[in-house]
Amino acid sequence: ASAYISEMHDDAPCFTNECQRTVGEVLTIGEGTTELNADLEYGAVLTGKIVDASDGVTPVYPVLIALIDPVTGEQMPQVATLNRPDGTYQLGAFPPGDWKVRFEGVESASAYISEMHDDAPCFTNECQRTVGEVLTIGEGTTMLNADLEIGATLIGSVTDA
């Protein structure tokens, strides 16, 4: 993936199709040729591998890797990805700065405990703001691996009393 941050013509960052409709100023183009140049900023990219903590080798798949704003605890929906079957992922590009990263097993990997990048368990969106240390991610590519643990499973049945 490119490490350049996507933007609209007026330099407003834009990561999703939704922002193409809601972000940026309207540009009126008349007849003839209109020149429009862009200066893209180089961003940050995370790469890594997610493995089972019990052996440190077996890939865990699929896992959602999400970038979290450390102030609001909000997940940036435009900066999230699923890893590949071999456990590797690449997330980016996004503005360098202070972030948190959440790893959440989904589908066949949902038995794994969701956690922040510093191994702090995180089961709700609220914990994205309150749990985990802030990670300063600089321009370019940063390696961030994760080892997830399998959680407990509760089974049973509900009967009419």
User: d(Cα 51, Cα 129) in Å, to the nearest integer?
Assistant: 25
User: d(Cα 57, Cα 129) in Å, to the nearest integer?
Assistant: 30
The model's pLDDT over 70-119, given as tens digits with 9 standing for 90+, comes to: 988 888 867 788 999 999 999 988 889 999 999 999 999 999 999 999 99
Phi, psi of 15, rounded to the nearest 5 degrees = -110, -15
23-45 burial, b at 16+ Cβ within 10 Å, e below that, comes to ebeeeeeeeeeeeeeeeeeebbb
Q: Provide mean pLDDT across the span 15-21.
A: 62
Residue 131 to residues 38, 62, 66, 68, Cα–Cα distance (Å) = 38, 23, 14, 11
Q: 3-state class of 90 per DSSP?
A: strand
**pTM exceeds 0.85:** no
